[in-house]
Structure 1
Amino acid sequence: MAHAIRFHQAGGPDVLKWEEVTVGDPGPDEVRIRHVAVGLNFADTYFRTGLYPAPLPSGLGVEASGVIEAVGENVTHVAEGDRVTYTSSPLGAYSTERVMPADPLIKLPDGIDCETAAAMTMRGLTSSYLLRRIHPLKTSDTVLLHAAAGGVGLIFSQWAKLLGITVIGTVSSEEKAEIARAHGCDHIIHYRRENVAERVRELTDGQGVPVVFDSVGRDTVAGSMASLRRRGLLVCFGTASGVPPLDAMKLAIHGSLFVTRPALADYIAEPAERAALAGELFGHVAAGRIKIEINQRYALQDAVHAHREMEAGRTTGSSIFVL
C-alpha cells in the first residue's frame, strides 16, 4: 500500500498522521509518480496551521522528486521512467506515491539526483526569481537578506556571489553565521544582539540598501524598512514569524519605499519562464557553482518531529524526507 502524511484538522505538528492511501491510475493530463525524496519547507506549516486554508482532510507538501510510473492521455513532455521534480499545488507531496497533474513536472538532468532535487527545487527556484526577476540588481549592489543560513539563504548567497552582488545576512547564532559565511554571505548581523538597521547603515556608508529580501515577516519588517535607501524595495517573500502589518504612511516616512509580497507560483506559472529559471538553476548546480546542503534528512513517518525541529529554528540549509 502507498502511504501519505495527512491532517484532519488545523493545528500543531501532532495533527499530522501517517496513513495508508489508495493511489489509482492517472487520468488525462496526469501522471502517477513514485517519490524518492520530498522537500520539507517552512511554508508547509502555513497549511498545517490553517494560515493558508486547505479543504480537510488534506495531504501536505508541494515539493518532491521521483520517477514517473504511468502517464495519462495528453501527457507529452514527460514519459514513464523519467526522473522528475516539482514544486506546486495541489498538496500531497508528503507521500510515497501519488497521482498528480503533469504540467508542473520538470525533467531532471543526469547530473542532479533526486535527493538534491527535492532539497532545491522550491528553494532554488525561489532564489532564481528573487535574483533574476524581482529587481534589476547590478554588479556591486548590496542587499540585505534575512535568514541567511536557511535553505533559500544558502542558495541565494552563492548565486549572488556569482552575480557580483554583496549580501548582508542576518542570523540567530554563531553556528549559523559560520554556515552563511561559508556560502558566500559577505557581512553577518546577529539580529538578537545587534540593531539590524544601524548595522546596515554602517556597512553602506549611511545609505542603506536598494533591496531587502525578508522571509521572516512580522518580527523583522520594521528593521527591514529602516534598512532601505530612498525609494528602496522591500521584498516580503515569507512570513515565518507571522504576517507583517504594513502601514502605507510608513513607506513614505522611510523614503517613498516600495513593497511586494511575491509568490513563487506566479513566477513559474508559464512553462517557458519555469524552464528558463530551472535551466539556469540546474546549470549552476550541475557545474558545482552552487552547492546544495542537505543538513537534515528524515523518514516521512517522522513528519511530526521534523516540523517541530523546523519551527524551533533547529535546522539549517535544506531538509528533506527520504523514502
Structure 2
Amino acid sequence: MRAASVQRTGGPEVLEVRDVPDPHPGPGQLVVEVDAAGVNFIDTYQRSGVYPVQPPFGVGLEGAGRVVEVGDGVGEDLGPGRLVAWKQAPGSCAERVLVEAAEAVPVPDGVDAETAAALMLQGLTAQYLCSATYAVRPGDAVVVHAAAGGVGLLLTQMVVLRGGRVLATTSTPEKAELARAAGADEVLAYEGFAARARELTDGEGVAAVFDGVGRATFAEGLDALRPRGVMVLFGGASGQVEPLDVQDLNAKGSLYVTRPSLAAYTRTRAELEERAEQVLGWAATGALDVRVGGRYDLDDVARAHEDLEARRTTGKLLVLPGGPAEAELGRS
C-alpha cells in the first residue's frame, strides 16, 4: 500500500509517499481502508519537529473508512465493512491504517466518511472546549479566534447551539462571511479586538476567549476578558506564547488560563463515545454544517500542509487516498 511518511523533520518538502507493507491487526486492533484523512496543525508540528516524534513516522492521525480486518477482542460494532472514524491513529494519511479499537467510533447513518473524518479531531475539540473547558451558558459572550478555520467554524456553531454569543475574529472579508454564516454575532479584525469586544459587551468583557492562534493574540485576549473570565489557549498557529506572569491574572480581574488537550478530555472510552455521539449526531441531523475547504489526493499531501500553514484555507482539509480522480471530483 501507499502511505505518506516523514524520514526527517523539516518543511513540507520532507513529506514522501512511499510503498510500505500492509498493516495486520493484533488483539484489540482494526485495519481500516482509509476513505478520508484529516489534515491538522498537529501534523505540521510533528513534521517540523515542534512536537518531537522520532523519524521515520507515518503522517496524519485522524480519518474515517471501512474496516477490512479485525484482531481478537474487537466488538461486532466495529466489525468488517463498518464505517468508522478516529482521532488518533498514527499514519492515517495512507491507503490503509492500523487503528486501536479503543480509538475507533462507529459512524451513524446519515454521515459520510468525509464528514466523519472532518469532525473527529476538530469537532471533538470544539465540543469539549465549549461544553467542558468553559461550559458556555445562554447569553455568554465569547471570542472565537480564527473563526473561519476548521475548529473555528465548528466552535462558532456549537457556542450558538448552547445559546452563546460569538464575537469572531477573521483575517479577510471572505472569511468574515463564513463566520457570519456559521452564526457569529459580530466579526472583528484581529487588530484591536480586545477593545472592540469590550465595547460590544458594554465594557464588561467576554466570558471566555477561545484561542487557537497563540502568540499573536494571547496577551491582548487577556484584556478582552471580564472579571473571572477564562482564557482557553488550545493551539499556537502563530507560535507559542511568551511566558506568563501569573500576577497579571490578578491585576486583570482574577482571570483563569488553561491549556487543554483533546487527549485529556477523552481519557476514557465512555467520554470519547459521549463526545463523538453528540458531534456526529449533530452532523446527522443537519444541526452542524461541516465545511470541507480542500480535498487533496495522497500525492499532494505536501501541498495540503503548505496551504494549511499559509492560512490559505477555510474549514477542514482532507486527504483522499483513493487517488487523483476521486479526490478531484470534490475538490474545493
Could you tell me the TM-score, scaled by structure 2's length? Answer: 0.94
Q: Does 1:18 align with 2:14?
A: no
Map 1:117-132; keep pairs closer than 5 Å: 117-132=116-131
Q: In structure 1, what is the equivalent of residue 196 of structure 2?
A: 199
Q: In structure 2, what is the equivalent of residue 74 of structure 1?
A: 73
Q: Deviations over 1:8-56 (max 9, x none)?
A: 1111100100111102321111111110001011221110111111111
Q: Deviations over 1:173-223 (max 9, x none)?
A: 1110011101111111111xx301110111111111111100011111111
Q: In structure 2, what is the equivalent of residue 290 of structure 1?
A: 288
Counterparts of 2:16 and 2:138 in 1: how far apart (Å)? 48
Q: In structure 2, what is the equivalent of residue 251 of structure 1?
A: 249
Whether contact under 8 Å (2:23, 2:96) holds in the other structure is no
Whether contact under 8 Å (1:294, 1:317) holds in the other structure is yes
Q: In structure 1, what is the equivalent of residue 87 of structure 2?
A: 87
Counterparts of 1:142 and 1:215 in 2: how far apart (Å)? 18
Q: In structure 2, what is the equivalent of residue 210 of structure 1?
A: 207
Q: Please tell me the residue identity of whatever aligns with 2:177.
A: E
Q: Does 1:241 align with 2:238?
A: yes
Cα shift at 1:62: 0.8
Runs of 4+ in 1 over 2 A off after TM superposition: none
Counterparts of 1:248 and 1:156 in 2: how far apart (Å)? 27
Q: Please tell me the residue identity of whatever aligns with 2:210.
A: F
Q: In structure 2, what is the equivalent of residue 33 of structure 1?
A: 32
Cα shift at 1:107: 0.3
Map 1:13-162; keep pairs closer than 5 Å: 13-76=12-75, 77-89=77-89, 91-162=90-161
Q: Does 1:306 align with 2:314?
A: no
Q: Please tell me the residue identity of whatever aligns with 1:288.
A: G
Q: Please tell me the residue identity of whatever aligns with 1:214.
A: D
Counterparts of 2:94 and 2:221 in 1: how far apart (Å)? 37
Counterparts of 1:144 and 1:256 in 2: how far apart (Å)? 18
Whether contact under 8 Å (2:214, 2:233) holds in the other structure is yes
Cα shift at 1:136: 3.1
Cα shift at 1:68: 0.6
Whether contact under 8 Å (1:4, 1:96) holds in the other structure is yes
SS in 2 for 1:34: strand
Q: Percent identity?
A: 42
Q: Deviations over 1:61-119 (max 9, x none)?
A: 11010011110011125111111000015x21111102232210000011100011111
SS in 2 for 1:80: coil
What count of residue pairs does the alignment treat as equivalent? 319
SS in 1 for 2:44: helix
Counterparts of 2:168 and 2:42 in 1: how far apart (Å)? 21
Q: Please tell me the residue identity of whatever aligns with 1:81.
A: G
Unaligned runs of 5+ in 1: none
Could you tell me the TM-score, scaled by structure 1's length? Answer: 0.96
SS in 2 for 1:110: coil
Cα shift at 1:232: 1.1
- CA gap of 1:162–1:34, structure 2 versus 1, over 3 A, is same
